[in-house]
Structure 1
């Protein structure tokens, strides 16, 4: 009987076609060589090795990962660009990511200025495991209204949603500020907005929140005290572990249940959590197989 793979659900690799598309732009987000320019942020020098397919394949082997799921870097803000600007970048991302070696799987991305469920249907059929959306797009009722065509297509296709932090420019703030303040706030908003505005509207949709949803699950007691929506977490809601250690992961696992937490590393920006024994098997193998259920075939 074939062994089920060990899965990391959260990595980023910029394929060559996507790098070329960023370099072809004259306005942020753009690359000048390997210097990244984003609105409201200082230039950032990207390490080319971080996006070397050969180097990342070798790193996955060293990490003990059989299948690394890569997604668009949502903090770049590509999803929010006008459609005529986002389409070339999204096409380049999908073209390159879907051509990566078999050790990599792909989360789809989608433009939000003009949500296009037909294009989403095409990239899902081409092999994407589900759709990633920025948390900033799902922070309130209006966000769910705007994204409804995409979420309905996911539900129809029985493919999951991955919620990832979005743009977080913080002029004058220290470099760690977006990751510790902006991203956490975004994930909190998306977590509670899903349970208030999304879960009843899309009851069959499976949802995975990055970075333990910014630890939003640990606020369940406060939510109950304040009369918030009951039933948190709803069925089909999962989180992944990127950037957190054993103690915090254990606390969230105790709140959600051991079957709701998946391994995510956010390579190349962070290292994966290493757990051995049954706990490691659940994070890397059993829970991804449960979450994806029908897709992709190589996870089952």
Structure 2
């Protein structure tokens, strides 16, 4: 493996049984289609851009279209399938387990199974569930359990409760918006302050969070007398941020805002094709805003603090 040895925290798995069943369970409201995926194609892509390990997750709309026991069964099937891939290649892949939210009891059971039995590296949660955002009190029990475990939580955006604009698929612009929306909702509803032990990763450079952070901080202080802009900014800086599909113009804002130890590499493969994902990686590799030390931390070292099992590499 090359000098970069990147750890990719934003890489997706596409189980064929899930992709085949998705159209009969509501399809993908964002207007995106499921790409082909295999272990071999993922490894070939990873080697081409010097990724040593990819942490796999099921992308939006995940299992939102399933209901009742069928939702629980599909979450378990996806998690066991992903765990089996990791077992075949333990240093090349990781697993963010899927939760059957908004079923809280089912999600608590799946957290226990995924983290204790399957030894998943964390969990993936969507930015909203049927229009309920992650700061809602309905999810407090889930956050409390994840906090108790000091779990890594990867928040992946999904379609907000609105129709995509004609000809503008959700992943293009609605997804970064929904990441920002749920992050601010969590902040204002006290999730970040009540559950400080959860390590939370925001996708795609945090959506618009770095760009709009000062605006959020100042308006929050106007709304609440016991809040200062400085305290809001500190809470927003507690997030981790992956670089998946982060344009050259986004990187300066991200680097200026985020804590240096909270930057993580992301690709969004295979929903971002190998060519597109490699283009964004090249933007990052040639950015003048990343010092060699920060670049290495972003590529690998920061992720090792979250996933110490990967420290020895291959």
TM above 0.5, yes or no, is yes
- Tell me what 2:246 maps to: 244
CA distance in 1, matches of 2:12, 2:46: 12
Structure 2 residue 71 is the aligned partner of structure 1 residue 86: yes
- Written as runs of structure 1 = structure 2, the 5 A alignment for 1:44-63 is 46-48=34-36, 51-63=37-49
In structure 2, the CA distance between the partners of 1:177 and 1:46, relative to structure 1 (3 Å rule), is: closer
In structure 2, the CA distance between the partners of 1:140 and 1:170, relative to structure 1 (3 Å rule), is: closer
- Tell me what 2:11 maps to: 11
- Tell me what 2:224 maps to: none
In structure 2, the CA distance between the partners of 1:281 and 1:231, relative to structure 1 (3 Å rule), is: same
Q: How far is the alpha carbon of 1:186 from its aligned partner?
A: 0.8
Q: How far is the alpha carbon of 1:24 from its aligned partner?
A: 5.1
CA distance in 2, matches of 1:200, 1:24: 39
Structure 2 residue 158 is the aligned partner of structure 1 residue 163: no
Q: How far is the alpha carbon of 1:47 from its aligned partner?
A: 4.0
Structure 2 residue 180 is the aligned partner of structure 1 residue 188: yes
Q: Which runs of 5+ in 1 are unaligned?
A: 30-36
Q: How far is the alpha carbon of 1:73 from its aligned partner?
A: 1.2
Structure 2 residue 267 is the aligned partner of structure 1 residue 255: no
TM-score (norm 2): 0.79
Q: How far is the alpha carbon of 1:143 from its aligned partner?
A: 4.7
TM-score (norm 1): 0.82
Given that 2:164 and 2:170 are in contact with CA atoms closer than 8 Å, whether structure 1 keeps it comes out as: no
Given that 1:81 and 1:113 are in contact with CA atoms closer than 8 Å, whether structure 2 keeps it comes out as: no
Q: How far is the alpha carbon of 1:92 from its aligned partner?
A: 1.7
Q: Which runs of 5+ in 2 are unaligned?
A: 222-226, 287-291
SS in 2 for 1:232: helix
Structure 2 residue 16 is the aligned partner of structure 1 residue 27: no
Give the total of aligned pairs.
Answer: 279
Structure 2 residue 81 is the aligned partner of structure 1 residue 96: yes
- Tell me what 1:34 maps to: none
